């Protein structure tokens, strides 16, 4: 994912935390903030040390989240800034289950539209 699609600076993270809304499921918390002037969405990913004490565990979770967002990119509302924060349960998920849980949380937030069957 390009750097322009990422939220990296602390003040941008805090802006979404303080001004935005949040939803959660068992494995992820999503904080989101609408930006009408935006050309595309931006995402910040946070996986704390409580999730996995080793960096390789945290990095694997972040890779799963980034790959899922890359696959969902056409469905994501382009006027959103959002943060994905992993919870302890995310440590034990494989890629498919992680994506399914992330889609559920993003749908609850209204960032992506539910799939039509």
Q: Is 65 helix (H, G, I), strand (E, B) or coil?
A: helix
Name 67's Cβ contacts closer than 8 Å, sequence gap at least 6. Answer: 95, 99
| HEC letters along 14-26 | HHHHHHCEEEECC
pLDDT at 2: 82
Stated as kind and residue range, the H or E segment containing 80 is strand 80-86
Query: For 86, what's the count of Cα atoms within 13 Å in the CB-facing half-sphere?
Result: 26
pLDDT at 117: 45
Residuewise pLDDT in 10s, the chain (117 residues): 788 899 989 999 999 989 989 999 999 999 999 999 989 999 999 999 999 899 999 999 999 999 999 999 999 999 999 999 999 999 999 999 999 999 999 999 999 987 644
pLDDT at 32: 95
Kindly tell me the sign of the dihedral angle through the C-alpha atoms of 56, 60, 61, 63: positive
pLDDT at 91: 94
When the candidates are 3.30.70.100, 3.40.605.10, 3.30.230.10, 3.40.50.12280, the CATH number that belongs to 3-109 is: 3.30.230.10
Which phi and psi angles does 112 have, rounded to 5°? -125, 155
Distance CA 3, CA 108 (A): 26
Q: Are 114 and 72 in contact (CB under 8 A)?
A: no
């Amino acid at each position: 994912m390009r750097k322009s699609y990422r939220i990296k600076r602390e003040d941008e993270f805090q802006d979404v935390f303080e001004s935005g809304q949040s939803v959660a499921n068992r494995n992820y918390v999503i904080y989101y903030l609408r930006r009408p002037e935006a050309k595309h969405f931006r995402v910040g990913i946070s996986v704390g040390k409580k999730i996995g004490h080793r960096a390789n565990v945290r990095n694997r979770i972040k890779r799963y989240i980034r790959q899922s967002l890359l696959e969902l990119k056409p469905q994501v509302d382009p006027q959103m800034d959002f943060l994905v924060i992993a919870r302890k349960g995310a440590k034990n998920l494989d890629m498919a289950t992680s994506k399914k849980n992330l889609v559920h949380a993003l749908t609850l937030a209204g960032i992506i539209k539910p799939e039509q069957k």
